[in-house]
Amino acid sequence: MRAERGGRGGRTWWHPPGTVAPADSASPVPPHGFRPGGRGAILGALALTVVAVALVASAWGSVRIPVETIARMVALRLGLPGAGVATWPASWETIIFTIRLPRVVLAGVVGASLALSGATYQGLFRNPLADPYLIGVASGAALGATAATVLRLPPSLYRYGATQWCAFAGALVAVAFVYGLARVGGATPLTTLLLSGVAVSALASAANSFLMYWYGDKLLVVYGWLLGGFTTASWSQVFQIAPWLLLGALVMVPSARLLDALQLGEEGAASLGIDVERLKIILVVVATLVTAAAVSVSGLIGFVGLIVPHIVRLVWGAGHRLLLPASLFAGAIFLILADGLARTILPIGEIPVGVLTALCGAPFFLFLLRRSKKRLF
């Protein structure tokens, strides 16, 4: 597969090896509707919104801390010029840097991971109803986390995140089974992949239910994890999954033009010189790794990968050059706000954030299902 610059606007032409791109032909990539400068302005505005939302969410709680004070705390901690000196109680720093800010940042990283993976899955499968849990990621992670919780591993392993790593491993094993079952004669038809995902998800869910029934004394712990949330958020969890999000962004975002071309269909994309089978393997594996890392620390938080890419698509169009990075930022914004509401909407206690996203996502899913006869891509 080769790419050359040519034609009006410096667009990239994809063509089979050994052929020469036309000097001036129509681009196979659907237009995204924005000049590069406009796209940069949108992404810059979204990035600033992420920072603003994170500061506001950090101010929410039983102890009210002004947003400007939090901004000065962060600037002072980072050694930025103009931060001044600390004029606030030491307890405020403990609240922000030990409790609230790790939770807000973790929610942002998880939301960004799920939304970026969801946008990639939807483009790859050419299915507006696809999301990161489509091919067994959620059920595999749930089974791994449940097994780690009920099987009483050595206590030292739990200090190093045994539950999270087992959830991560369970998700990868489930996806490996799905992909192995879906392979037909060296190819991986999308229909077979989806059906295999449904079958493996059902099997993993059944095994998970059996473990919850057999080890009833651990039911509340497992059930709390399955509902999803960030009550145990820490900086170590942020550093655990942030590299996976970075990996996903470095692989998925540059694949935007290939995903645009794939909307022509697999045969159409192959005629442009794209190795469709290789593209599917790479994107499925990377998106699954990113999703599994997010699920391993947050539990099951559904519908983020479904809602956010659709909102971005409705506002700014379906071109993946903008859709993928915008979904990343919008996912962080969405889940930070959802978690902030989940922990403050009740006067006592908090709602699991997975429940709140399901309350938002289920009606949205039904809305998309009703419109599924229309062409959304």
Over residues 258-295, the pLDDT tens digits come to 999 998 888 888 888 889 889 988 998 899 889 988 98
pTM for this model (two decimals)? 0.83
SS (H, E, C) 74-125: HHHHHCCCCCCCCCCCHHHHHHHHHHHHHHHHHHHHHHHHHHHHHHHHHHHH
Query: Are 325 and 41 within 8 A, CB to CB?
Result: no
Q: If pLDDT is split at 50, 70 and 90, which confidence band does 27 have? A: very low
Write the DSSP string, 187-224: B--HHHHHHHHHHHHHHHHHHHHHHHHHTGGGHHHHHH
Q: 65 in a domain, yes or no?
A: no
Residues of the chain with pLDDT > 90, as a percent, come to 39
The count of C-alpha atoms lying within 13 angstroms of the C-alpha of 115, restricted to the half-sphere facing its C-beta, is 31
Q: 94 in a domain, yes or no?
A: no
Q: For 293, which DSSP code?
A: H
How many domains is the chain partitioned into structurally?
1
Number of residues that this document lists for the chain: 377
User: What is the CATH classification number for the domain harbouring 208?
Assistant: 1.10.3470.10
Tokens of residue 179, six digits: 């992909």
Q: 165 in a domain, yes or no?
A: yes
The stretch 162-177 carries a mean pLDDT of 87
Q: If pLDDT is split at 50, 70 and 90, which confidence band does 157 have? A: confident
Tokens of residue 38, six digits: 């406009």
Q: What is the pLDDT of residues 220-273, one digit of tens each?
A: 888 888 888 898 899 999 998 999 999 999 999 999 999 999 988 888 888 888
pLDDT of residue 36: 54
Q: 93 in a domain, yes or no?
A: no
Q: 198 in a domain, yes or no?
A: yes
Q: 19 in a domain, yes or no?
A: no
The stretch 47-63 carries a mean pLDDT of 93
Cα 280–285–291 angle (5° rounding)? 125
Query: Are 163 and 294 within 8 A, CB to CB?
Result: no
Alpha helices in 183-319 (DSSP H): 190-214, 219-227, 235-252, 256-262, 266-271, 276-298, 304-316
Q: Which residues contact 173 (CB under 8 A, 6 or more apart)?
A: 140, 144
Cα–Cα distance measured from residue 65 to residue 92, given in angstroms and rounded to the nearest whole number: 7
Q: 218 in a domain, yes or no?
A: yes
Q: 63 in a domain, yes or no?
A: no
Q: Which domain holds residue 139?
A: 104-370
Cα 158 versus chain centre, distance: 25
